[in-house]
Amino acid sequence: MKKSFAVLSVLCLLLVAIAAPVAAADKIVVGFAQIGQESGWRDAETESIQSYAAEHKDTIDLKFSDGQQKQENQINAIKNFIDMGVDVIGVAPVVETGWEAVFTEAKEAGIPIILIDRMADVPEDLYATFIGSDFIEEGKNAAIEMARLLDGKGKIVQLEGTVGASAANDRKTGFEEELKNYPDIEIVASQTGDFTRALGKQVMESFLKTYPDIVGVYGHNDDMVLGAIEAIKEAGLKPSVDIKTVSVDGVKGIFEAMAAGEANVTVECNPLLGPQFFETAFKLAAGEEVDKWIKSEEGIYRQETAAEDLPNRKY
């Protein structure tokens, strides 16, 4: 009996030893190079990725890097991920250009790259897929909403995102292309607010002094327009009434502003990409094919329904 028990114990230990590498092999190591913390939208994306990894720590080992709005920091992070030998690299590129060399290094190391929420101007064979929105479509929708608010006429200003960022480039392109259908709406000034509330307020203060007859402001993200709203109020004007607002993202702060009657429209850009990101990472790590563009589902939200929509917002 003792001999049988001893044999059984040895067999069990062997099974555990054999099973352990399999379990370890099921865990993927993913490096993610985030832009930074320039907005509530960005914070929501970071939280979505980090919380999903934490909830699935048995199968995901996340290596996270905050680029602090600097491309060189993101490039260094990607190089570190390559040196670590991670399975997949995710990056939200702070600007579109300047990635080809480091992406080539990742390709040569056999590590697929997932672009998150922003594109990079590189050959398609240097990245596996892009997960995110149609920024040009967002810009077009913003222009349609602005035209509706202004009855097709008036002078407006544009708060642009970070210079060189794909989101800024495309939201500008889509908006200005669509606005050609409304010749009586004129963009009198356009300047970067770098996707931040503080700079959005600062630029809007300057716009108001230089162009006292503007009736609308379009921002490439909500945070800049939230800053602009502060500037409008401090100038003694009523945001959403004297100056209409249209912005992009759909953060909780803009819903609060709409519910308070201080903002008009937000075109949603969904930051909750954690589940899609890791689902795609697992497929790539397993050698599976994925679509080159994985789009997120989004909508358009207006002041009229903001109070009703607000309790359901997750970011």
Domain 135-269 annotated CATH 3.40.50.2300: yes
* 135-269 matches 27-132+271-296 in CATH topology: yes
Let me know the angle formed at the C-alpha of 188 by 187 and 194, rounded to the nearest 5 degrees. 80
Of 113, 173, 164, nearest to 139 by C-alpha is 173
Residue 96 in tokens: 């579109």
pLDDT for residue 184: 98
- In 3D, which of 55, 39, 57, 82 has the Cα closest to residue 65? 82
Burial 13-22 (b: 16+ CB within 10 A, else e): eeeeeeeeee
- Give the model's pLDDT for residue 16: 36
With a cut of 50, list the residues of the chain below it in pLDDT: 1-25
Three-state DSSP class for 287?
coil
Segments in the chain forming alpha helices (H): 2-25, 40-55, 71-84, 100-108, 135-149, 166-179, 197-210, 222-234, 252-259, 274-285, 306-309
Distance in angstroms (rounded) separating the CA atoms of residues 246 and 143: 8
Instruction: Please give the pLDDT value at position 222.
Output: 97
What CATH number was assigned to the domain covering residues 27-132+271-296? Answer: 3.40.50.2300
Task: List the structure tokens of 10.
Answer: 């040895």
Question: What's the rounded Cα separation, in Å, for the pair 143 and 160?
Answer: 14
Alpha-carbon gap, residue 155 to 6, rounded angstroms:
87
For 180, the token pair is 């050609």
pLDDT of the residue at 13: 37
State pTM to two decimals: 0.81
Q: Which helix (H) or strand (E) holds 295?
A: strand 293-295
Domain-by-domain residue ranges, the chain? Answer: 27-132+271-296, 135-269
Instruction: Give bridge partners of residue 29 from the DSSP assignment.
Output: 61
